[in-house]
Amino acid sequence: MKEAITYELLHVCRQSGARRGVIHTPHGDIQTPIFMPVGTQATVKAMTPEELKDEVHAQIILGNTYHLFLRPGHELIKEAGGLHKFMNWDLPILTDSGGFQVFSLGQAGLRKITEEGVEFRSYLDGSKHYISPEKSIEIQQALGSDIMMCFDECCPYPSDYKYTEKSMEMTTRWAKRCKEAWTNENQGLFGIIQGGFYKDLREKSAKDLIELDFPGYAIGGISVGEPKEEFLDILNYTAPLMPENKPRYLMGVGTPDYLIEAAISGIDMCDCVLPTRIARHGTALTSHGKLVARNAIYERDFSPLDPECDCYTCKNYTRAYIRHLINMKEILGVRLLSIHNLRFLTKLMDRVRIEIENDNLLTFRNEFYKSYGYTN
């Protein structure tokens, strides 16, 4: 079976150990490390594909299996010619497995986990559904993403050792079933390392999944509410366990500091809804920290959101105008903030890639933290 997804290592930062690479996919190459915008319901909220390409310079986006399974349904998307065609996006797509949403959105008591799979009720209308490892792959194959994820259980934080161990072992058995269900050689499938905040479980999970030989690996189950030190501890322990010749994906991370730390630990890919979610609440990411656009101090501020930014929003609009739009609940306000926030993160990662090539990522991190206002 030919590999749909391959990884090419270009350079390792001599200062930080971060990786500069390229992921080859059926819909084109991805320069890594990369931040991936999330298109939950077959749309990156408020954005067109052209804006994602031309303004944000996104190289790959995510789709959410759970949401697309419920609405409009994976069979409908398959009939439409797959998710790329349905949403008019011709660059790579990664789909999650649905596991995270089943567990985090499933209401207590309305979700039943067995070895076979998970029964749950839709958050939309209460209807009953079932996702197993095989079903997750069936859905993701119908969607036609470039990168599929194994169906896994993401333990809540905190979870005790016993629960985490049992869950991680089931996730490994599910990964095996996912691999067996995977038939489309034009799609890749990544294994997800679980094991919570227990290093021996992380080690066991990585070892067992590597034996299954996936085209790529992810770290799941961190950045789920724990303190930053615990996040960094598990990240820095787990990332080096992942194969060097394959893509490494840290799931659900999107704050500037976590993205930089992920790169330093050797991670290639991250995703998060943060930039578009905070845009809808009127908040911008800037070189000098978060900016709450509706604040009265910006009422007559005719400077751009971030004077150091080159995005469409910052080239053409003032804080005063964006504040007005957000206060008036105008869609354009959300659009302008979404473009800016997404571009802020993709631009940050453009810079991270350059600093890796220059063997300078730790120096850059320290400067960035100072400018952004992080205490490091």
Q: Determine if 193 is a binding residue for a second copy (CB under 8 A).
A: no
Element (H, E) at 148: strand 147-149
DSSP assignments along 252-304, one per residue: T--SHHHHHHHHHHT--EEEESHHHHHHHTTEEEETTEEEETTSGGGTT--S-
- Choices 75-83, 171-179, 257-265, 303-311; region in contact with a second copy by CB under 8 A: 75-83
Known catalytic residues? 96, 271
CB count within 10 Å of CB 205 equals: 31
Q: In this chain, which of 151, 182, 190, 317 binds a second copy, going by CB under 8 A? A: 317
Say how many residues touch a second copy, by CB under 8 A. 34
Residue 324 C-beta: closest distance to a second copy, Å: 4
In the complex with a second copy, the residue whose CB is nearer, 80 or 210, is: 80
CA distance 42 to 13: 36
CA distance 309 to 322: 15
Q: In what order do the strands lie in the sheet with 128-131?
A: 111-113, 118-121, 128-131
CA distance 307 to 287: 9
CB of 269 closer than 8 Å to CB of 251: no
User: Six-digit token pair at 148?
Assistant: 């599929």
In the complex with a second copy, the residue whose CB is nearer, 1 or 328, is: 328
Query: Which amino acid, residue 81?
Result: G
Q: Are strands 118-121 and 111-113 parallel, antiparallel or unpaired?
A: antiparallel
In the complex with a second copy, the residue whose CB is nearer, 142 or 175, is: 142
Q: In this chain, which of 316, 363, 366, 371 binds a second copy, going by CB under 8 A? A: 316
Residue 47 C-beta: closest distance to a second copy, Å: 7
Q: In this chain, which of 88, 104, 107, 186 binds a second copy, going by CB under 8 A? A: 88
Residue written as tokens 């053409």?
A: 316
Q: Determine if 303 is a binding residue for a second copy (CB under 8 A).
A: no
Q: Determine if 170 is a binding residue for a second copy (CB under 8 A).
A: no
**Contacts of a second copy in 263-302 (CB under 8 A):** 299-300, 302
Q: Determine if 82 is a binding residue for a second copy (CB under 8 A).
A: no
Q: In this chain, which of 71, 112, 207, 281 binds a second copy, going by CB under 8 A? A: 71
In the complex with a second copy, the residue whose CB is nearer, 217 or 317, is: 317
Q: Determine if 370 is a binding residue for a second copy (CB under 8 A).
A: no
Q: List interacting residues with a second copy (CB under 8 A).
A: 41-43, 45-48, 71-72, 76, 79-81, 86-88, 299-300, 302, 316-318, 320-321, 323-325, 327-328, 330-332, 334-335
